[in-house]
Amino acid sequence: MGHCINSRRHCTLYTPGNTKNIAHARRVKTAILQARTFKARNNDALTAREVMRKASYSFSILKGIMYGILRPDERLFRRLTNAYTDGRIFSVELVAAVTRQNSFVGKMYDLKWTQPGAFETIDEEVVLWHAIARYHAFLDLMSGLPIHFLVPTLDIDLAWHTHQLRSYDYYYDTKKYVGSFIDHDDKVEETHLSNSFDTTASAWRSRFFGVQYTYC
């Protein structure tokens, strides 16, 4: 089971409303490089190697320096330091992400939805059409609850994952119909996930005239 945090925060400086927030990134970079520790003579720009040298080539020391600079906004500090811990350009630890998806795939397997020919008959195909329709309703629910933590059912989550396979269309559709780019983040504690699922089910019944949320 996945979930949605439909709010104005991400694991990088990108934001749901502006996926290329270069101005904000530049302000943060300037604030860090203008700090006394990093400020170069004659206002020359520091190279990455010089920044590393001033931090004694230690990420822990660098984080300590950054914390002193960004302390008024601790959430921003956590986003920056949690996203990048090495030279990769990605903010996701791929092995951990794949491991988390194992549970979702296992549930699809238990439902026999991963078997070849699982949806060949008309009656079986109806399940997919229901999933797509409910996913559309889920997006509608997101648009009406922009700061809530929403948790999908398995069938909705399947449609959600499938939508993300077409990355450009996913970006365009969520921006157009929900109002912001929707991050599908699955790093959530089980207790919080359970409570949020109950909240989502209640909001669903309220918005869609008493229709039950749980489908499978």
Handedness of CA 50, 54, 56, 58 (dihedral sign): negative
- Beta strand segments in the chain, E: 4-5, 149-150
Please tell me the total number of residues recorded for the chain in this structure: 216
pLDDT score, position 7: 39
pLDDT tens by residue, 155-201: 999 999 999 999 999 999 999 999 888 888 777 777 888 899 999 99
CB 70, CB 80: distance < 8 Å: yes
Residue 43: is its pLDDT beyond 70?
Answer: no
**pLDDT at position 27 over 80:** yes
Residue-level pLDDT at 177: 92
Instruction: Answer yes or no: is pLDDT of 212 > 80.
Output: yes
- Whether 92 shows a pLDDT value over 80: the answer reads no
Calpha distance 185→182 (Å, rounded): 9
Task: Please report the pLDDT score of residue 5 as a whole number.
Answer: 44
107 or 1, higher pLDDT: 107
Which of the 8 DSSP states describes residue 150? E
Residue 65 pLDDT exceeds 70: yes
Q: How much is the pLDDT for 9?
A: 36
Which pLDDT score is estimated for 24?
77
Q: 2-19: per-residue pLDDT in tens?
A: 455 443 333 344 555 556
Radius of gyration of the chain (CA): 22
Tell me the percentage of the chain whose pLDDT exceeds 70: 82
> Whole-angstrom distance between the N-terminal and C-terminal Cα of the chain?
12
Q: What percent of the chain has pLDDT over 90?
A: 37
What is the distance of C-alpha 215 from the center of its chain? Answer: 24
The Cα angle at residue 208 between residues 202 and 210, in degrees rounded to 5: 60
Which two tokens mark 74? Answer: 């601790």
Closest CA to 7 of 190, 206, 185: 185
CA dihedral 159, 165, 168, 173 (to 10 degrees): 0
Mean pLDDT over residues 36-55, rounded?
Answer: 74
Nearest partner of 51 among 41, 39, 42, 69, judged by Cα: 39
Instruction: Answer whether residue 83 shows pLDDT above 70.
Output: no
pLDDT of residue 4: 52
Full-model pTM: 0.63
What does the DSSP 8-state code read for residue 172? H
Distance from chain centroid for Cα 169: 17
**Residue 27: CA atoms inside 13 Å, Cβ hemisphere, count?**
6
pLDDT score at 57: 87
